[in-house]
Structure 1
Amino acid sequence: MLVAMTKEQQLFQLHAQLSQQELQTLKKQHQFFCPQCSEQLLLKVGQIKIPHFAHQKNSSCHSLFSEGESAAHLLGKQQLFQLFKKLQLNPFLEPYLPSLKQRPDILIRKNDRQYAIEFQCSPISHDLFRQRTNGYRKADIIPIWLLHTPEQFKTPGMFKISINHTNAQYTQHYKSQKFLITYDVGSKTFYYASNLIHIHKRQYFALVNVLPLHHQHFPFLIPEKISNAKFCLLLSSFTKFRDQYLRPRLLLSKKGVKDRFLRAIYEMRLTMASLPAFLGIPVRNTNAFDIFCLEWQIQLFYFMKCHELTPGTMNLRAIPYFFEWSRMELTNEREMAVEHYINILRKLDIHHVHEKIALKQLFDVLYDELVAIG
């Protein structure tokens, strides 16, 4: 905690400008209390963490005010608070919101809208994340989650990254753009992982850009869409991954004819050498599947073959029957992914699985689907 109440019922905030001597004087001559539970607090002035307030052991307030904050979390809140002050946003540090029983790291106001800034340095469950996010929204407060920058994000450029389920929940959306905003306290730098293209499981292709703290504004910068040239490289890398995925998948399956993916490939007379370019392509929401997109897309073509359908004649209301037929669990996101894929096939004017298309045509359609913002 960086904020406490004095005996005179005034809020007191620890800030970076306080000298070691001033802090020691405060510790000896003043008492500080929790703004919520009114218990007396300890002012901790050590050599590792920045100065902060903490409850006594066995405090009954531990469920409302988090203890054991990391040095990065304390320092990050302080740095972000100073940024918002510089931007004249009248920020409030660690304000307790009684109606929500929640305490954002920072609360700011701009153009009659309130924003709760949460700087996340430790994992939280999806249920807690959803509970806190919904709480803010019900109070007409816009939540913004900033992730403490993972090491793999600290190199700018375009490459494959891993985003676990906990960190994926902080993904932000702007039109067709998906991105993660992260902040590194050591370098005072924002790292943006943008233009996220899901590959398989926790793996994504991403474009990582950097923005120094003093160049940030509010609302936070929205990353630009990826260029045609970079998207071409990304799509080429995705195709290589598809081919690398397929070979061991074909050779190492233990289910034999019971493997629905292999059966679909056999029945449709597909080979690694003749795999059409429109099979195993990235589409929106494909991260909802537990399997690589190539698998469910091939099974979709097999479903259409068995039911004498084409992408043009398949009614979108038949998508739930496809999931039942393929024995895959149906979710809203998965249904949307299949719908996106069918729409792409229609734009490409695909009628059967052995059709040939120009790579430029596929590129243009996928660029519109995954990148274009307008």
Structure 2
Amino acid sequence: MQLNRNICKIGQREEINILTAKSKNGELLILTPELTRDQLRKWRNSRTFLCPQCNAPVKLKVGDIVIPHFAHKKDTACSATFSEGETPEHLMGKQQLYGLLKKREKHVELEPFLRMLSQRPDILVITKSGTIPIEFQCSTIPISEMESRSNGYRSIGMKPIWILHTPTKFTGFAYGVGLFHFSKYHESFFTHVHPEGYTLLTYKPQKERFYYFSNLVHVAGKRYIGIHRSLSVDKQVFPFARPKTPTKEELKQYISIYLAMRNEFLQSRILLSRRGVNDPFLRMCYEMRMHPTNLPQWVGLPVAHSESFREHDCEWQLSLIYYMRRKGMSFKELTDGHIRHFINRMEIPTMGKEKACQVYRDFLIAEGIESFQNHQVIDEMIIFRLFSERLLAKRYEN
């Protein structure tokens, strides 16, 4: 059963729009972009259409602006199965994605109803290796709802793919390495693949292009360093194309942006903080008798799992060092148990934060740094190595 969730309010009643219908003899008809409006107008005048789910009569609407669609002639019990309304962009995007996938795979369904879950993915792709639900999300929905739907798919062995409708501002970003801002909602669409790291895949139906933000490295808050690329729908493959490995020159751009952001963070905490020594970061600097701009270069490093912290790397790493100082211990004496105790004192303790602290500790020990008094220089080659290890399967040699 292949229904579309598009619901339009007309006066006090709802009109349910669908992209598929049945003929009287049971033939399934799917409205794809290849069908011309002239052809559809002939269908409209010569055929009878039924809803694939409730078997109620539906009419074929063919205008000059809105995407052609079927609509129930009146309210029916079928309306209870539709959870949300949709935009023309969603209809257009699903048509285009469906067309793309039909060219790449043999078995593709447009909005099938999964009775065992009472869920309706936008598209379902059945391959030899498994069944993949694809959700093309245009409207903003609660993250908890996304997680619930994904958990439902996973409970029956399916691995869902969520594709975000490209926000308008994203299309104006320059291609290549840059600093990008993503909300918590955008982050819920991130996927992680080793070794490339986090990727955000979006699609813009009006331009028929995918926009990738790949190899994302969290800096602080909503800011990420990453690489922006786009791919036309006719060049897309399935499974969806994976981002290219960053080049050596691109990694050097990562370093430049990261170091500039580190300097900006330290300067801003001095110039913009209204709390002075009541600011936790400045208080730690004050008690350790260290001016923020004179912190050792190894405070604020882009180690693996650092995206688990919302704070800048300088902030959580200095906090760990401050904890060690109060305990009177060196990095070699800092056990996993100590790290767990340090993390559990936080408002939101996570395993990712523990791992980030462990990687940071192990890195400093390997570099011969044992305490805060050590002011060993960490040059750009070492930071280059950290980015290389995080984003590449094989480290670039310098």
Q: What is the TM-score of this pair, normalised by structure 1?
A: 0.90
Give the letter for the 2:280 counterpart: R
Question: What corresponds to 1:41 in structure 2?
Answer: 58
Deviations 1:109-143 (A, max 9, x none): 22241111211212121111111111111222221
Question: What corresponds to 2:354 in structure 1?
Answer: 335
Question: What corresponds to 2:233 in structure 1?
Answer: 213
Q: CA shift at 1:67, angstroms?
A: 5.3
CA distance in 1, matches of 2:76, 2:258: 52
Of 168-177 and 272-281, more deviation after overlay is shown by: 272-281
With over 3 angstroms needed to count, the CA separation of the structure-2 counterparts of 1:340 and 1:273, relative to structure 1, is same
CA contact (8 A) 1:160 1:206 kept: yes
Give the letter for the 2:62 counterpart: V
CA distance in 2, matches of 1:64, 1:82: 25
Of 139-148 and 298-307, more deviation after overlay is shown by: 139-148
CA contact (8 A) 2:221 2:310 kept: yes
1:101 is paired with a residue whose SS is coil
Q: CA shift at 1:169, angstroms?
A: 0.9
Q: CA shift at 1:328, angstroms?
A: 4.0
1:3-152 alignment, distance < 5 Å? 3-55=20-72, 59-62=76-79, 64-65=81-82, 68-152=85-169
1:265 to 285, 297, 301: 285
With over 3 angstroms needed to count, the CA separation of the structure-2 counterparts of 1:10 and 1:157, relative to structure 1, is same
CA distance in 1, matches of 2:78, 2:95: 23
Question: What corresponds to 2:223 in structure 1?
Answer: 203
Q: CA shift at 1:372, angstroms?
A: 1.9
Of 287-296 and 227-236, more deviation after overlay is shown by: 287-296
With over 3 angstroms needed to count, the CA separation of the structure-2 counterparts of 1:14 and 1:200, relative to structure 1, is same
Give the letter for the 2:185 counterpart: T
CA contact (8 A) 1:285 1:337 kept: yes
1:269-280 alignment, distance < 5 Å? 269-280=289-300
Deviations 1:270-292 (A, max 9, x none): 22442222222233443333432
Q: What is the TM-score of this pair, normalised by structure 2?
A: 0.85
Question: What corresponds to 2:341 in structure 1?
Answer: 321
Structure 1 unmatched runs, 5+? none
1:327-366 alignment, distance < 5 Å? 327-353=346-372, 354-366=374-386
Q: CA shift at 1:44, angstroms?
A: 2.8
Q: CA shift at 1:214, angstroms?
A: 1.8
1:91 is paired with a residue whose SS is strand
2:393 is paired with a residue whose SS is coil
CA distance in 1, matches of 2:384, 2:229: 24
CA distance in 2, matches of 1:30, 1:245: 66
Of 68-77 and 336-345, more deviation after overlay is shown by: 336-345
Deviations 1:164-223 (A, max 9, x none): 111211111111321111222222222211010112211111101122222221111111
CA contact (8 A) 1:311 1:346 kept: yes
CA contact (8 A) 2:166 2:202 kept: yes
CA distance in 2, matches of 1:143, 1:265: 46
Q: CA shift at 1:330, angstroms?
A: 1.4
Of 311-320 and 147-156, more deviation after overlay is shown by: 147-156
What is the RMSD of the two structures over their aligned residues, measured on CA atoms? 2.4
Give the letter for the 1:319 counterpart: I
With over 3 angstroms needed to count, the CA separation of the structure-2 counterparts of 1:64 and 1:369, relative to structure 1, is farther
Number of equivalent positions: 373
Give the letter for the 1:259 counterpart: D
1:114-263 alignment, distance < 5 Å? 114-154=131-171, 155-176=174-195, 177-263=197-283
CA distance in 2, matches of 1:42, 1:342: 66
Task: Give % identity.
Answer: 35
